[in-house]
Amino acid sequence: MITALDCLYGSLLEAGLFDSFLKQFAEIAGADSVAMFDFDLSRADAMRFTSTAANEESNARFIATFPSIDDRLWWQRSERDMVPGAVINGIDYASASEIKATRYYRDLLQPLDILHSAAVCAVMRPDAQCFLTVNRSEQRGAFGHDSIAVLRAFAPHWVRYKQLEQRIATSQRDLHGHRGLAVFELGPAFDVRRMNGPAERCISAGWLQRGPDGALRMHDARSQSLWATCQRQAATTSAATSIPVYGHHAEVVAYAALQPVSDGNIAPRRLLFVRPLQPIGDHIDLTATLRASCGLTTSEAAFAVALRRSETLADAAQSLGITVGTARQRLQEIFEKMDLHRQAELFQALDALAELNDHLYHRTEPQQA
């Protein structure tokens, strides 16, 4: 299971590993094949179907035919039980003889030598669904207790994987000419295992470096000191930690957040997200992130958010019911704690932290109960 999960999480940065995961998982679950269904219910053409039992041509035929077939018995009968993390055993909802009498079986399952299926649910929303099915032939018979136990142990990882995939996917876009979210996969010694394109650009820009042992380092002493503190904190807590990343002219060029993956001995151990500074909008609960990541007090964090919203010292002070003199004092304290010098730098830093805040802590996919 550990090797299979390594491939699953690793496929977030190297898509080709997903096929390796499917093949390994089929063996672990005692299945003849594994298939992933991932589709938008409002758009049939947006469906993704990948199966170890079919080649590209068969997958394409399945995607084209699937939406037109209505007699998917175990799928339809188990719909109310399909929630994120659920494991569905098809034989509990439709007998083998019932399934063999359907067009779904004749047109799609029989050519792939599939009769028995079980599913692990991830995304289950009114507008989208994603689940993984393990499949067996009629000769192999239905899935037993051992296989279902494997699926139940795997289910939390499948949900977590889809959440991470969504957060990363929505970040791979350029806003106002800025690069997308950089993602590093780090091993137990904070060594770089894999990285995406934006992460490679962070390395080429000199913001971060890979040591001779593969360990990730920051380019200057100040950033490296903060990174070392972040690593020590990661060793004792499962919470994500954010730190500023400094450029070659002592300016803050990005914010990095280290996100532990608490899966025992399963690699990757941690994901490091690096968000270049960029203007975005307002974000919820940024004050909590400022307190945890930058050491601001509650009043200082509230003032920073109010200042970013109003953009003038007087308006921010008025919105919080404090004097302009108190506002100036808080601004100076914020500058010292965040190692900033100008209000424009603070706005950029808040925007970058807010973006990380959205991706790592607060925006989760809505789930259907």
204, 292 contact by CB (below 8 A) = no
Do 7 and 55 lie in one domain? The reply is yes
Is residue 368 a part of any domain in this protein? Answer: no
Q: Mean pLDDT, to the nearest integer, of 72-86?
A: 89
Is residue 176 a part of any domain in this protein? Answer: no
pLDDT of 140 strictly over 60: yes
Q: Which token pair is 275?
A: 């968000």
In which band, very low, low, confident or very high, does the pLDDT at 313 lie, cut at 50, 70 and 90? confident
Beta bridge partners of 217: 209
Q: Which of 168, 190, 218 is the last residue of a domain?
A: 168
DSSP 291: H
Do 210 and 271 lie in one domain? The reply is yes
With a CB cutoff of 8 Å and minimum separation 6, the contacts of 304 are 287, 290, 296, 334, 346, 350
Provide the pLDDT for residue 358.
58
Task: Print the domain residue range for 343.
Answer: 182-362
Do 122 and 250 lie in one domain? The reply is no
In which band, very low, low, confident or very high, does the pLDDT at 174 lie, cut at 50, 70 and 90? very low
Do 344 and 291 lie in one domain? The reply is yes
With a CB cutoff of 8 Å and minimum separation 6, the contacts of 293 are 241, 242, 243, 257, 353
Provide the pLDDT for residue 213.
84
Do 140 and 25 lie in one domain? The reply is yes
Which residue is listed with tokens 């920073």?
Answer: 304
What is the C-alpha to C-alpha distance for residues 120 and 85, in angstroms, rounded to an integer?
7
**How many domains is the chain built from?**
2
What is the C-alpha to C-alpha distance for residues 191 and 369, in angstroms, rounded to an integer?
39
DSSP class per residue in 201-249: HHHHHTSEEE-TTSBEEESSHHHHHHHHHHHHHHHH--S-EEEEEE-TT
Do 238 and 315 lie in one domain? The reply is yes
Residue bearing the bigger pLDDT, 146 or 252: 146
pTM beyond 0.75: no
Q: How many Å separate Cα 30 from the centre of its chain? A: 28
What is the C-alpha to C-alpha distance for residues 111 and 116, in angstroms, rounded to an integer?
14
Provide the pLDDT for residue 50.
82
Q: How many Å separate Cα 323 from the centre of its chain? A: 42
Name the range with the highest mean pLDDT among 228-232, 276-280, 283-287, 327-331: 327-331
- Phi-psi region at 295: left, alpha or beta (left = phi > 0; alpha = psi -120 to 50): left
Side chain identity at residue 335, one-letter code: F
Is residue 219 a part of any domain in this protein? Answer: yes
With a CB cutoff of 8 Å and minimum separation 6, the contacts of 300 are 290, 330, 333, 334, 337
CB < 8 Å & 24+ apart, contacts of 17-20: 18/50, 19/50, 19/52
Q: Angle at CA 26, nearest 5°, toward 153 and 53?
A: 140
Name the range with the highest mean pLDDT among 7-11, 20-24, 199-203, 304-308: 20-24
Do 160 and 193 lie in one domain? The reply is no
The CATH number for 242's domain is 1.10.10.10
327, 303 contact by CB (below 8 A) = yes
pLDDT tens for each residue of 209-267: 888 888 888 887 878 888 888 888 877 776 667 777 877 666 677 778 887 765 555 55
Residue bearing the bigger pLDDT, 249 or 126: 126
Largest CA distance in the chain: 80
What is the C-alpha to C-alpha distance for residues 61 and 41, in angstroms, rounded to an integer?
18
Do 152 and 293 lie in one domain? The reply is no
> 151-160, 167-176, 219-228, 352-361: which has the minimum mean pLDDT?
167-176
Do 303 and 199 lie in one domain? The reply is yes
With a CB cutoff of 8 Å and minimum separation 6, the contacts of 306 are 316, 319, 320
pLDDT tens for each residue of 314-355: 888 887 888 999 999 999 999 888 878 888 888 878 877 776
Q: Mean pLDDT, to the nearest integer, of 66-89?
A: 88
The CATH number for 28's domain is 3.30.450.80
